[in-house]
Every structure is written in structure tokens, then in C-alpha cells.
Chain A
Amino acid sequence: MKFLKKLSSLLLAALMLAACLPVQALADDVPYQTYNYDYWEEIVQIPAPYVPDGAISGVSLNCGTFASPQDICVAPNGDLYIADTGHNRIVVVDGTGRKVERIIDSFENEGETDTFNAPTGVCVSENERLYVADRENQRIVVLELDGTLDHIVRDPQSDVLPAGFVFKPLKISVDYADRIYCIAQNMFQGILVFETDGQFSGFFGTINVQLTLWEKFWKKVATKEERQNQTLYIATEFTGMDIDESGFVYATNIDENGLQGVRRLNPRGEDVIKKGRNENVGGDLWINGSGAYAGPSQITDVVYRGEGIFSLLDRKRGRVFTYDHEGNLLYIFGGLGTQEGTFTTPVAIEQWNGELLVLDATRAEIYRFSPTEYGSLINQAVALRYDGDEALAVPLWERVLELDENNELACSGIGKAYLSAGDNKAAMKYLKLGMNRDYYSVAFKRYRSEILRAHLGQALTVLGVVIVAAVAVTKLRDRFKAKGRGKKEKGGVSG
């Protein structure tokens, strides 16, 4: 009996000790999938690149629950602007995320107090002005950061706009020259661009309708009456925007084929995005199946995160896809659900002090995600590569390989460093692991000429000796045969 008591107390102590041990952050600890696609477009599990790190809500800020917030924006000074659409106000949160700086729900307009009506988009420009897409008032309100009115943009006038067009701005972005890029409701012709003075100057980045051969065929065959009854082929609308430091606009749209969910538009409005080796910047690659959960990703927003890295937000499966400037997937995380760190209706994504913020409209909360060692290593290494300091990235990539030994980007990065250091054989090994055809070829070419240069002399000597020997042997044999034949002939004559 005594022994049993002792044993149980011992067990209890051991249990308590185990509970005190520090917990390691494993991929299983996050409430969502963390994965990537490899060269063969197979899903590979990766360590969590980002982990949930709390939430910002109206309750946590003591300003009353948000009502269906639709957009967030990070100002250059680090403040966070939240478009609290249902309450017709803009909430400004300070850099810590714990305190409300101010709430903008009205402003002075020509001597009268004016208010918002369903502000769905918010943007702070580099020149420190606040732009609000005031949807139901059909205008864009431009305010100073303290809330005084600068000017209002409304009623775009142009021949290219359809007659009776009602301007309902949804999302806005502003570039360094204070040009306004605006996504408007039911506007399929592209992004509306307003010049600095508020004049509408035209459309930008129109998505062309892609007809399949089959649809073209039926269009040809159909009669005029039939065509009128068919559904129109309409280009998809844009869903979200961001602008990088050189003024290129990243604009997302919902692609039915799941191939391209984001465009990178140059100042002429042409798409210049690189699609990586999968030829795909549309989110998930495995989209077959049936049911509500299958189908292509529906990209709703994009955030440009510097050094060519950008993240896409998918509302279909609640995932965040991060790409480098070449369009290669870096990592994928996130999911739908009800736990903290998962989403119900994700609508906007932003980067804030190195964290990622995702706004959920239904739950009216902003979820914060902070990078793990794995995530920040990849971010840093990709940034170094973007800046051309590939050699500096090697120790980072090596650490990435310790955490995730099948990481193709890391292998490729190390291989390239070996290549520029002149170690062609090691470069070949890593570039092959990284499935990098072009650079492997370069490494192999150099290795091959190295080998040839070292051994060509020997090879030619051996070849020369062999040829000489062969000639000699044939000659000798011919002579021998000729002799033999001569003997035979002689014998024949004598016989």
C-alpha cells in the first residue's frame, strides 16, 4: 500500500514536470494547414511560416464591435486604419494595436457636418492623406489625417463611361503622385484612374474576356435571337489592390480557371507579372473535386510586402499565398474555421510591423499573424536574392534546410551561391535538388568543360595510340595474308 502511494506521487510529480516543459511550435499547433507545392505540383507539408498572434476587434479596442468592416490600411507612420463599413466610420489604431487614436465618423464640408455612408475602402497615401471610398454616397472623400476635408471626388465624366453609370467605389489605392486607382461596383472595364486634381482620366488594366474555341464556335452558329438570350461574356471585376514602391499596381481578380488571381500592372496598364515555373499565380493548384470547398481559389485582396514579395488572400478556403517577384510560391497558410487564426469571410490583408493582418468581415475582427523562424528566414533570404546579395542568403537557406529539408527554393539558392563561388559539382547537386533546370545547365556546362579541359590531353593521347596501333595491325595482317596467299598460289602452280 505504501509502495503504491509512493508510486502514484512519483507519477504525479513526473506529470507536473512534463507540463512545465516548454512547448515547441510545430505545424500541428496551428489551427490551419501550412504547405507548399513542389516542382511536380505535389502538396508538401512545411513548418508553419506564420502563427496566429491574437486579434484586434472593436471589443479589444473599447470602441464597440465593428459592423461588417471591409478594408484596412496601414499608414506610413504605422497607424492602422479600419473601414468600419456598417458603422459608417473610420477607426484609427495606433502602432501597438491596443489603443484607438481617433475615430473619424464625420467631417466639415462647406460649413456643414458631413458623414460617410458605407465606407468600403480606405487608403492612406505616401503624402499622408486619407482616402475613403464612400460607396453609398457615390464619392471618394479625401481627408487630411486629422480629419479635415481636402477635396471630394465624385461623378466621373467621360465618353468611355456607359450612360447612366452610377459610381460606387469599393476599393481604392493611391500612388506616390496622388493618382487614385479605384475599383467600382459593376465596372468591368477596369480600374478607374483619377488624376491628382480629381479628374477621371481613364481605365486601367482591363481584363480581357477569354473565350474558349467551343464558345466561339457556338457564338458563330447561334442566330441573333439566340445570342440575345445567351448570358453575356463579361470580364471579371477586380477585387483588391496594392501599389508597390515603384508605382506598379497589384490588382486581384477572381479567375474561374484558377490560373491568375493577381495582375501586376505597369503605368501603361499592362500586366507584367511573372508567373513562376508553375505558370500560375492563382492560389491553389489542386482545385478539382465537387462541393463548396472545391474549385479555384477566390483571391480577394493582395498586399505588396516589399522586395518583390506579395501575399494573396483567398476567401474560398481562407488561405494566404505568398509569392516572390518571380511568381514562385514561398509558403501557404491559413484556413476557414471558427478558431482564432482561422477565418469566416476574409476580405482584406495588410502587412504591419512585420506581421500579417487579415480582416474578417463577418466576425468583425482583425487576426494578427507573426512570422516564425522559418517564415522570417524565407522572407529575409528572398529579400537578399531580390537585392542581388545571393551569397549573403546562403546561411539563411542552410538554416531553412535544417527546418524543411525538401525546400526547393533553399536548395536552389545554395546551388546558385556555389555556382558563383566556382564549385560546379556542389552547385549541380543542390540545383538538381532544387529542380532548377536553367542554372543546373549552367553548372553542368562549366563542370563538363572543366573535366574536358583536364582530361582532353590524355584522351587524345590514348586515341592517337589506338589509331596507330589499329593501322599497324591491319597493315601487318594484310602483309601476312598476302604472303600466305602467295604461298598458296605457288603451291597451286607446283601441284
Chain B
Amino acid sequence: MRAAFGKEKWRYLLYTMTHPVDGFYWIRHQDRGSVPLAVLLVICFSLCFSINRISANFIVNDVEPASVDSLQELSGVLLLYVLLCVGNWSITCLMNGSGRMKDIAIAIGYGCAPMIPALLIATVFSQFITVEEGAFYYLIIGLGVAYAVIVMLLGIRQVHDYTMGKTLVTLFLTFVAILFILFVSLLLIDLIGQVYNFFRSIYTELVFRM
């Protein structure tokens, strides 16, 4: 576990942020990345997202602070993370992707990293601006998002050894797969619920008669 959060893992994260192509290549081939670190980054991203929604100055913030539930947002983000990883993995398995589950998880998790400072900086910055300067606030967030998307795309491309076009196609198929997974799991949950209710009604029936 110490190795997972070890100093060289953090240093390599920084290296990957500045050299995504090389960075993800060695993550794939020399296990220089760390899945726990990737998950930690996703959690941090979710927290920063909530912090931004709660604490950004009201002149740029259209969200009612009282309506933000950071734990709910955390579970939503984690669920989306798992779905993305599983969806991408199931598609790339069929499309000659060389990335393992581990690599995909790292690529997506590390991809979230640029959003963390962007959201934090934007939140602090928003306290010192007027409405007219709001464009800079959105610029900071926009840069963060753009950086994250680029890192994530390059990461997925690199770990699977794809061309850019194929990466985009697989990403589209990933979203289709996610929808499919959601559909099947909803169906499953519903059916399980019906079975549960069936046995439950038998139980209540028995209890009432005895």
C-alpha cells in the first residue's frame, strides 16, 4: 500500500501530466502508475467539484449551496468512474486494445487530476471578482476541463495503442456500453425486487396465519 502512494508514484503523476504520451506508455509497459492513487484523484476531484459548487461566489454560482450533497455527488462520480472503466474495458477487449483494466482505471483517474487545481483556484479566484470579470473564472475552469480531456484522451489512446480516430470511436461505443449496462442493471434490480416482494408477501401471509 505504501508503494501505491509512494513518492515516486506522485512524481510520476506529475511527469505524466506534463508528458502524457510518454507517461502513459511507461504506465502501460512498466507499471509506473498506481490504481489507488487514481481512485484517490477521482475522490479528490469529486470533493473539489462539490467545494466549487458550494463555495464559489454567488455572482458566478448558479447552484443553491443548500442543495449540494457532497456525499451524493461523490457516489455519483465514483459510479460514473466505475461505469466508464468497465464500459471502456469491455469495448476495447473486443477491439484489440492492449490496455488492461488497471491501465484504463489509471488513465481515467489521472485524467481527472488537472480539474482539481482548476476548480480550487477558480473557487478562490471567484471571491475576488466582479460580474464583468466572471469570464476569467469560466476561463480557468474551461482550461482545467480542456487539459483533463486531453490527458484522458491521450491516456486511453496510449494504453490501448490506438490511433486517435479509433480512440474516439471506442469512446462513443463506451457510452453505448454504459447505457446498456445501466439498462441491464435496472432490469436486474427490478426483477430482484419483485422476487424479494414475492417471498416477503409469503412471509407476511404466514405470519398473519400463525
B128 nearest CB neighbor, chain A only: A448
- B67 proximity list for chain A (CB < 8 A): 40
- B58 proximity list for chain A (CB < 8 A): 432, 435, 437, 440
Contact B64 A441 (CB under 8 A): no
Q: Does A438 contact B (CB under 8 A)?
A: yes
Contact B64 A445 (CB under 8 A): no
Query: How many angstroms between the C-alpha atoms of A442 and B128 in the bound complex?
Result: 12
Contact A440 B128 (CB under 8 A): no
Contact B64 A438 (CB under 8 A): no
Q: Which of A215-232 contact B (CB under 8 A)?
A: none
Q: Would you give the 0/1 interface string for B123-148, flagging 1 where the beta carbon is closer than 8 Å to chain A?
A: 00000101110000000000000000
Q: Does B184 contact A (CB under 8 A)?
A: no
Q: Taking the nearest CB of chain A, how far is it from the CB of B117, in angstroms? A: 24
Q: Does B59 contact A (CB under 8 A)?
A: yes
Q: Which of A430-460 contact B (CB under 8 A)?
A: 432, 435, 437-438, 440-442, 444-445, 448
Query: How many angstroms between the C-alpha atoms of A17 and B180 in the bound complex?
Result: 73
**Residue from A40, A42, A444 within 8 A of B130 (CB atoms):** A444
Q: Which of B38-81 contact A (CB under 8 A)?
A: 58-59, 64, 67
- B131 proximity list for chain A (CB < 8 A): 437-438, 441
- With contacts A40-B64, A435-B58 taken as known, whether A441 is within 8 angstroms of B128 at the C-beta atoms is no
- B130 proximity list for chain A (CB < 8 A): 441-442, 444-445
- A432 proximity list for chain B (CB < 8 A): 58
B131 nearest CB neighbor, chain A only: A441
A435 nearest CB neighbor, chain B only: B58
Q: Taking the nearest CB of chain B, how far is it from the CB of A315, in angstroms? A: 31
Query: How many angstroms between the C-alpha atoms of A437 and B132 in the bound complex?
Result: 11
Q: Taking the nearest CB of chain A, how far is it from the CB of B5, in angstroms? A: 34
Q: Taking the nearest CB of chain A, how far is it from the CB of B192, in angstroms? A: 29
Q: Would you give the 0/1 interface string for A66-106, flagging 1 where the beta carbon is closer than 8 Å to chain B?
A: 00000000000000000000000000000000000000000
A38 nearest CB neighbor, chain B only: B64
**Residue from A40, A42, A440 within 8 A of B59 (CB atoms):** A440
Q: Taking the nearest CB of chain B, how far is it from the CB of A117, in angstroms? A: 55
Q: Which of A401-445 contact B (CB under 8 A)?
A: 432, 435, 437-438, 440-442, 444-445
- A448 proximity list for chain B (CB < 8 A): 128
A443 nearest CB neighbor, chain B only: B130
- A442 proximity list for chain B (CB < 8 A): 130
Query: How many angstroms between the C-alpha atoms of A438 and B130 in the bound complex?
Result: 8
Interface centre among A438, A441, A445, A448 (most CB of B within 10 A): A441
Q: Taking the nearest CB of chain A, how far is it from the CB of B47, in angstroms? A: 23
- A441 proximity list for chain B (CB < 8 A): 59, 130-132
Q: Taking the nearest CB of chain A, how far is it from the CB of B131, in angstroms? A: 4
By a beta-carbon cutoff of 8 Å, the part of chain A in contact with chain B is 40, 42, 432, 435, 437-438, 440-442, 444-445, 448
Given contacts A440-B58, A440-B59, A441-B59, 16 further A-B contacts (CB under 8 A): A40-B64, A40-B67, A42-B64, A432-B58, A435-B58, A437-B58, A437-B59, A437-B131, A438-B131, A441-B130, A441-B131, A441-B132, A442-B130, A444-B130, A445-B130, A448-B128
A-B contact pairs, 19 of them (CB 8 A): A40-B64, A40-B67, A42-B64, A432-B58, A435-B58, A437-B58, A437-B59, A437-B131, A438-B131, A440-B58, A440-B59, A441-B59, A441-B130, A441-B131, A441-B132, A442-B130, A444-B130, A445-B130, A448-B128
